[in-house]
A and B are shown apart, each in its own frame.
Chain A
């Protein structure tokens, strides 16, 4: 979602080689860069990186696996689904979170059951990403499981639940819940709610995005998201005047 263009000159082949090289930080950078390139030829190397054992944090986390999962989501190739489903069982919370995010981007229905299983499992889970993935996948079976999260103590989880339930049910009352987040004093919460609103695809949210207390750059990215999730061309066109008003 970044609008910043990195200054880099690595070729795809060089980055793939760097991904299995000796230097941990170069491997991590390569994993990020391959996601940035969004080139499908990087998929097998990134899938292999999901099983990396050599890059561990002091707390036992797997930074390279996290970044590789994220980049597989950016490339959004269905060949990665089975490997991403497998790391939903990884003990690293952030690997599970990145895998949920990536599976949401790939939108392959084969991920629905494993994601539902993780939600049922409970405990310390990346609920925000998990609930958003189930909404993106149109997993109607998830609706009764997600609904209790509308009362979660964490705002971001509540807004994610409202967003996904809207995707599954189109109940207009859910939009008001996300608008609470857009009015938060915390800029991170406002930013999350901004994209939750865009993800609903509900056209009447456009003026709320324009009027939100966030940077113009973020508003533009959110409005573009609102365009991209529309199925109907005329409805997508209806967002353009809101973009024009910001330029």
Chain B
């Protein structure tokens, strides 16, 4: 049973009570209608966490038609919303988003955003240089996640030696990650 999107879009513009607005966003998200992409992208930027997962799930449901509007929005979003937009793009899995992962892996000051870019890039066979770069990130969580992604896609001799080099990482948590995925040092 598909909801007609027009009245929902109209309500999205008109309503101001967060509770009512959340109901509308839920309906728009459920519809999977490409016309809902704009409002859902606005909702991932709302200063209210209740909207975030709903809107991300809605954008994933829209799928390919949401890719271009999401890509166009990245620059203007705050980092939290950018993280959520990239998360939706990674889940949609459209190759048009790849340049954005490459860009924000370098450009974003927020480790969470860099992590999600690592995840997006790990899907493509020729992105090894980016993942090797992420192993050198200044923040532990990006290194930790890059290890995970490299191992999940299958190590090559080159990536294995780059990952093994983190046996001496200054952060205990990164060293433990290596033990978790590769066993104790050989």
Contacts and interface: CB of A to CB of B under 8 A. Distances in A.
Q: Do A and B come from one complex?
A: yes
Given A224-B140, A228-B172, A247-B148, A5 B109 contact: yes
A7 interface: yes
A5 B106 CA distance: 13
A4 B173 contact: no
Nearest to A216: B112
6 contacts: A3-B110, A224-B141, A227-B173, A233-B176, A236-B172, A240-B177
Contacts of A220: 141
B149 to A, nearest CB: 9
Given A3-B141, A5-B138, A237 B148 contact: no
A228 B112 contact: no
Nearest to B142: A3
Contacts of A247: 115, 141, 144-145, 148
A228 B176 CA distance: 11
Interface in B84-119: 109-112, 115
B153 to A, nearest CB: 15
Contact of B176 (A3, A217, A237): A237
A243 interface: yes
Contacts of A244: 148
Interface of A: 3-5, 7, 216-217, 220, 224, 227-228, 233, 236-237, 240, 243-244, 247
Q: A-side binding surface: helix, strand, loop or mixed?
A: helix
A247 to B, nearest CB: 5
A5 B139 CA distance: 8
A240 B175 CA distance: 11
Nearest to A228: B172
B186 interface: no
Nearest to A214: B49
B180 interface: yes
B79 to A, nearest CB: 9
A209 to B, nearest CB: 14
Contacts of A237: 176, 179-180
A216 B84 CA distance: 12
Nearest to B83: A216
Given A5-B111, A240-B180, A243-B144, 16 more contacts: A3-B110, A4-B109, A4-B110, A220-B141, A224-B140, A224-B141, A227-B173, A228-B172, A228-B173, A236-B176, A237-B176, A237-B179, A240-B173, A240-B177, A244-B148, A247-B148
Nearest to A224: B173
Interface string B43-58: 0000000000000000
Contacts of A217: 110-112
A32 to B, nearest CB: 17
Nearest 4 interchain pairs by C-beta: A227-B173, A3-B111, A240-B180, A224-B173
Contacts of B141: 3, 220, 224, 247
Contacts of B111: 3, 5, 217
Interface in B59-78: none
Contacts of A227: 172-173, 176
Contacts of A243: 144, 173
A70 B109 CA distance: 24
B39 to A, nearest CB: 24
Contacts of A5: 109, 111, 138-139
A7 B173 contact: no
A153 to B, nearest CB: 29
Contacts of B176: 227, 233, 236-237, 240
Given A237-B179, A247-B145, A3 B115 contact: no
Contacts of A228: 172-173
A227 B177 CA distance: 11
Contacts of A7: 109
